[in-house]
Amino acid sequence: MSKVRTRFAPSPTGFMHIGNLRTCLYAYLFAKKNNGEFVLRIEDTDQERYVEGAVDVIYSTLKKAGIQHDEGPDKDGGYGPYIQSERKSLYLDYAKELVDKCGAYYCFCDKERLDSLKDDKGIAKYDKHCLSLSKEEVEKRLAAGEPYVIRQNIPTVGVSEYDDMVFGHISVPNDDMEDGVLIKSDGMPTYNFANVVDDHLMAINYVIRGVEYLSSTPKYNLMYDAFGWERPHYMHLSPIMKDAQRKLSKRYGDANFEDFLAKGYLPKAIVNYIALLGWSPKGNEEKLSMEELVEQFDVDGISKSPSIFDEAKMRWLNGEYIKQMTPEEFVEVAKPYFDMSKIAGKYDYIDLAKLLIPRVEVLGEIPEKVDFLEEFDEYDTAMFEHKKMKITKEIALNNLKAIKEDLKDYEDWTDDALKQRGMALAEKLACKSGQIFLPLRLALTGVASTPGGATEMAELLGKKESMRRLDFSIDLLARNMQ
């Protein structure tokens, strides 16, 4: 058996869509699981859609995602060049060879004639008009410099068949397929033709791609057969959906890798999650490292059904990765989010990390969770009222005054010690502990939700700032009740 070789062949047209990244990931996992080689090839034949800097985005995305290619434009394994535009001279020669083998033919039809083939719905199917041209007439028109394309010659009868590794036996009537263009009038190959030539020349024997190519793959196989080349194995992947009706798309919001990184998702969590979109490991474990994904990946686990992208599930998985971080590891990835908050540089990020690690699912939540630490001069005192805890503004005010008196000379300003002090005060006042700690947290932070309890916030703020905020909140609440 020849060595497994897979490839990822993105077009440099912008950011990396999640669906493309999953295709890349599966091709990588399959190659590594089978001790094979994973090749990166840049397909830039569509110059109109080329986006400046997009190739750098491809490299950056694969690096951040932990997907390491064995060969590519920056790692020549003997099959280069790995950028299609640099291989332009190859394609015309192979197209001419295919013409000689009756697998293709020259077409000189102009736009007017092609438009005349359109039906009432504006759909045209080429009628093989130029296939009947004699060899002499073709040579005469080429010598005269007439514009031309080279089209694939697909049989009009019979059926083309192949076996897909996911979808099983696929059969397509030849009459359903059109004689597509292989070489365009500008001399550049179309995606379909360049793919076949490059995959063969680069010894790619496992082609992994989206299900949209399932029914057009017979076109590829007809070219392989006409050349006398061995067909590769095919693995087609069902789409990732936004919901039951819509594919995940940029128009619906976050659809690319960089979007999710900007929101504060960890690269390994994104990769872990998209691995599970269309593939199920045999065990029940969902949090899997790249090494574990390689070890467990198998074709049997790939689903034929579309997958629904569930960001809530990815948030949960991201939170699981965060929970396993040390404070130092957390600060390393979270620093940009601390720096964009209102308290940038004013607190020890390590201390904040200890509070946030168990309470953050996405790093983008950090500014909102820590901005309360910035000094405030107003907030809604209605928050002090809590029906379930049986707290009124009067109870909150009285308890805050008692807390201030109890803590004014107290020096053990740590979470545990302050918690014990608060519990003792609640017992002394014959009230529930929540009637002490909830008003205290509101008095110290001015917000209803914080990354930690009242005494954790007090320790973080320190005694001087805590007592200042306590005084401010008592005064604000008293004035509000007048």
Q: Are residues 113 and 216 located together in one domain of the fold? A: yes
In the residue annotation, 250 being an active-site residue is answered as yes
**pLDDT at site 283:** 84
Domain-located, residue 316: no
The DSSP letter of residue 189 is B
Residues 118, 205: one domain? yes
Same domain, 100 and 207: yes
- Based on DSSP, count helices (H) and strands (E) in the chain, helices before strands: 19, 11
Query: In terms of DSSP bridges, do strands 149-152 and 104-107 run parallel, antiparallel, or are they unpaired?
Result: antiparallel
Is residue 335 located within the same domain as residue 417? no
Same-domain status, 333 and 472: no
Output the tens digit of pLDDT for each of the chain's 482 residues: 689 999 999 988 878 889 999 999 999 999 999 999 999 999 987 766 777 888 999 999 999 999 999 999 999 999 999 999 899 889 999 999 999 999 999 999 999 999 999 988 888 999 999 999 999 999 999 999 999 999 999 999 999 999 999 999 999 999 999 999 999 999 889 988 999 999 999 999 999 999 999 999 999 999 999 999 999 999 999 999 888 778 776 665 557 899 999 999 999 999 999 999 999 998 889 999 999 999 999 999 999 999 999 999 999 999 999 999 999 999 999 999 999 999 998 889 999 999 999 999 999 999 999 988 888 888 888 899 998 889 999 999 999 999 999 999 999 999 999 999 999 999 999 999 999 999 999 999 998 888 889 999 999 999 999 999 999 999 999 998 87
**Helical segments of 46-86, H only:** 54-65
Q: Is residue 6 part of a domain?
A: no
- Tell me whether residue 15 is in a domain: no
Q: Which of 215, 237, 259 is the last residue of a domain?
A: 237
In a domain, 313, yes or no: no
The domain of 127 spans 85-237
Residues 232, 356, single domain; the answer is no
Q: Mapping DSSP to helix (H, G, I), strand (E, B) and coil, where does residue 376 land? A: coil
Domain C-terminal end among 198, 219, 237 = 237
Tell me, yes or no, whether 219 and 362 share the same domain: no
Residue 442 lies in a domain: yes
pTM: 0.89
At 1 the pLDDT is 62
Kind and range of the H or E run holding 236: strand 233-237
**Is 38 domain-assigned?**
no
Of 196, 216, 237, which residue constitutes the final position of a domain?
A: 237
Please indicate, yes or no, whether residues 115 and 219 belong to a single structural domain of this protein: yes
Q: What is the pLDDT of residues 352-372, one digit of tens each?
A: 999 999 999 999 999 999 988
Strand order of the sheet with strand 181-183? 104-107, 149-152, 181-183
Among 3, 75, 125, 250, the active-site one is: 250
**Domain shared by 407 and 368, yes or no:** no
Helix residue ranges, H only, 167-233: 191-201, 217-227
For residue 468, being part of any structural domain is answered with yes
**The CATH number of the domain where 407 resides is what?**
1.10.10.350
Q: What's the per-residue H, E or C state across 112-165?
A: HHHHHCECCCCCECCCCHHHHCCHHHHHHHHHCCCCCEEEECCCCCCEEEEEEC
Shared domain check, 454 and 332: no
CATH code of the domain in which 165 resides: 3.40.50.620
State the total domains in the chain. Answer: 3
Residues 423 and 337 in one domain: no
Q: So what's the pLDDT on residue 254?
A: 59
Task: Say what the pLDDT of residue 247 is.
Answer: 78
**Same-domain check for residues 220 and 111:** yes
In-domain check, residue 7: no
